[in-house]
Amino acid sequence: MHPPKSALVIALLGVIFAVVPAEQVWGATPVTCSSPTSARPQATEYFVSLADRSRHLAHVSIRFPQTTGAIALNMPAWNALYQVRDFAANVENVRAADASGRQIPVVQSKTSEWEITTPGRCAVVEYDIHLDSGGPFGSQLGNDHGFFNWAMVLMYSPATRPQGMSIQLLDVPATWGLHDLHIMGAAPAGKVEQSIGVARNYDELADSPAEVGVFQRSDFQQDGATYHIVVHGDPHDYDAGKLQEQVRKITHAAVEWMADRPFDEYTFLYHFPRGHGAGGMEHAYGTAIESNGERLHSSMMPVASVSAHEFFHLWNVKRIRPQSLEPVDYQQAMDTRALWFSEGVTSTVGDMLLARAGLLDDQQYMNRVAAEINELQSRPAHRWQSAEESSLDAWFEGDPHYRSPQRSISYYNKGEVLGILLDLRIRQLKQGRKSLRDLFQWMNENYAWKGRPFPDSDGVQQAAESITGQSFVEFFHDYVAGARELPYNALFAFVGLQVAETTVSASTPGFTTSTNLGGQPEVSAVDVNSEAQRAGVTIGDRIVAVDGNPATAAVDDQLARVRPGATVKISLSNRRGQRTIKLKLTGNQQQMYLLQDTPSVSAEQRAHRVAWIHGDDENGSEP
């Protein structure tokens, strides 16, 4: 059944492109006030020429057909990912012309702001922008493809940001055929003019990244919606049939779990590059996901995990939207205490959906829960940094020292654990008849469908209290706003489980790593008096390879499993260059947390456990 939809939820005016053949091979197609306009005139018209692909330079023209006086133009400093990246650094040669083609002065007034004054009715602002960062958080133009997160590419005028805008790609290679260009959005295919996308406002455009190039595409229908799977990667690296089967299971499980489908079309855009890559970015009508192509041969599970997380985001964060992130301020970091919920609890549900979809069995699911508990408990910072503080400090995550276990916890990790405990607390209070599922459906109906954001943690607390009729003041005070040790055993007892501590022997190279944006692992902590310290390993060094094999985000775990006393060759790089050192691994005892059965488990507890793992309410819904 299709539930009622609010204005926010039916914001379907996405953007769809087709392809225009290249008009000029050697340079960008010129755009002036008198060059043809789209069939649907808009307050702002963007033209993006892909002519200079080999230099990774996009040529952007912005035409304001109906304007006089001063226009301010801003380049966002950040987009979607909670890190200030100052996209203006990639902008060059900003210039402007009036209706007669005469150059008009451009004044750069701030790092990310330019001003022009137009004498006539029309003005065209032009600039070039260097785009060569791959992955879902980046934008890239090259000889093999283009991928654009538009907030990294297009300046906006604060005055016209809320108004309609069009975008047209120019100088697209003819070999990038008609179906080789796809953008997320929900406008019915074929109803939009060739090569021109239309968005209701800049924010909607920024949420509709585009892929152009040569890629594989498959579509399927399910539960009344059309899903697109678009892959830029080597077809030999993955099994397309298996990928679609996995996606189908996830989308059906989620739509059914939420009893809602606020879209008619949704796109999974996958980049499967060789040698690197991990991560995903959510959008209202799709997601962009990157995964290392070589590793897909051994397992598609990491792709399933990210896909489930990103797909659930279409509700949690895109439509169930925290107040602190609205309206988006593209010019500076935004303080929010809600990411533990918007990201972490999205992971809770993502894994639960995998179990519900049959992609994880019960034991695999519980192993994942135990791994999250381990991750949290092993970080000394969990004793003093709360989930809300970690959310606020999301903007520091680009800094390897900040990511060290002594300095920070992750709002993803603690949020995921809190989501599990919140679910168990609701189940315990309602004898399994209510759960996290009811909380999300309540928030969907009370915020998303009504088109209003929720008041951060207070809104989640209010939802939990509304569906249980019980107070959650302590839970939120102690565990969300506070850093009190989590009451694992009191809550896991409901499903006949307990958290047990044990010590295991492991190897360590004397340093700890973490990764940012799916890049190479970076050293985020060095043990005092370790061989690594004596060998000059410092925070921020990137681990390139271990024994000649490219290092991945899992390098710490891999080294922990090597025999103590073994010597490994580690290649590091930093600003001064690359070097290879030999390090003898030392053995140490590590604290480890296991999720295991309580001494006796009743049939009732087993039934609770099965319902909990699969996100079900027991005995149907309470009246």
Binding site for Zn ion (CB under 5 A): 343
C-beta of 98 vs 343, nearer to Zn ion: 343
Q: Between 343 and 531, whose beta carbon lies closer to Zn ion?
A: 343
Location of structure tokens 């004054």: 117
As given in the structure block, the two tokens for residue 592 are 């480890």
Cβ-closest position to Zn ion: 343
Residue type, 388: E
Min dist CB 605 to Zn ion, Å, is 32
Dist CA 443 CA 447 (whole Å)? 6
Which residues pair with residue 182 across a beta bridge? Answer: 211
Q: Say which residues have a Cβ less than 8 Å from residue 191's Cβ, sequence separation at least 6.
A: none
Closest distance of CB 621 from Zn ion, Å: 29
DSSP letters spanning 3-45: ----TTTT----------B-S-SSSPPP--TTSPPPSS--SEE
| Residues contacting residue 602 through CB under 8 Å, at least 6 positions apart | 496
What's the rounded Cα separation, in Å, for the pair 10 and 138? 27
Contact 138, 516 (CB under 8 A): no
Q: How far is the CB of 482 from Zn ion (least distance, A)?
A: 24
Of 246, 287, 265, residue with least CA distance to 135? 287
Q: Which two tokens stand for residue 399?
A: 């800094």
- Bond into 327 cis (ω within 30): yes
Give the residue with the Cβ less far from Zn ion, 171 or 343: 343
- Measured from the CB atom, is 185 or 344 closer to Zn ion? 344
The single residue listed with the structure tokens 């047209």 is: 168
The encoded tokens of residue 501 equal: 């501590």
Minimum distance of Zn ion from residue 13's CB (angstroms): 24
Comparison of 211 and 343: residue with beta carbon closer to Zn ion: 343
> Residue 546 to residues 489, 529, 559, 574: CA-CA distances in angstroms?
39, 22, 9, 16
Q: Are 78 and 325 in contact, with CB atoms under 8 Å apart?
A: no
| Bridge partners for 52 per DSSP | 57
CB of 155 to Zn ion, least distance (A): 27
How many other C-beta atoms are found inside a 10 Å radius of the C-beta of residue 282? 24
Q: How far apart are CA 311 and CA 280, in angstroms?
A: 10
> Which CB sits closer to Zn ion, 311 or 492?
311
CB of 349: closest distance to Zn ion in angstroms?
11
Q: What's the min distance (Å) between Cβ of 348 and Zn ion?
A: 12
**Cβ proximity to Zn ion, 171 vs 456, nearer residue:** 456
Residue type, position 383, single letter: R
Smallest separation (angstroms) from Zn ion to the CB of 366: 22
Q: Which residues pair with 115 in a beta bridge?
A: 72, 107
Lay out the sheet containing 216-222: strands in order across.
Answer: 216-222, 225-233, 265-272, 286-291, 278-283
For the bound state, the minimum distance from the C-beta of residue 342 to Zn ion, rounded and expressed in Å, comes to 8
Phi, psi of 341 (to 5 degrees): -85, -50
- Give min distance, CB of 285 to Zn ion, in A: 16
343 vs 397 by CB, closer to Zn ion: 343
Q: Which residues are within 8 A (CB) of 446 and not within 5 positions of it... i.e. 6 or more apart?
A: 454, 463
Contact (Cβ atoms closer than 8 angstroms) between residue 79 and residue 10: no
How many Å apart are CA 344 and CA 333, to the nearest integer? Answer: 20
For Zn ion, the closer CB: 176 or 311: 311
CB of 310 to Zn ion, least distance (A): 7
CB of 343 to Zn ion, least distance (A): 5
**Which C-beta is closer to Zn ion: that of 56 or that of 318?**
318
Residue closer to Zn ion, measured from CB, 308 or 499: 308
Q: Which two tokens stand for residue 561?
A: 């499993």
Residue (308 or 559) nearer to Zn ion, CB = 308
Closer CB to Zn ion, residue 342 or residue 441? 342
Least distance to Zn ion, CB of residue 309, Å: 5
Cβ neighbours of residue 404 under 8 Å, at least 6 residues apart? 512, 514, 524, 525, 539
Helix residue ranges, H only, 238-361: 240-258, 301-313, 339, 346-356
Q: Which of 95, 75, 99, 71 is nearest to 86 (CA)?
A: 75
Closest contact distance (angstroms) between CB of 412 and Zn ion is 7
- Residue whose CB is less far from Zn ion, 343 or 389: 343
Residue type, position 131, single letter: L
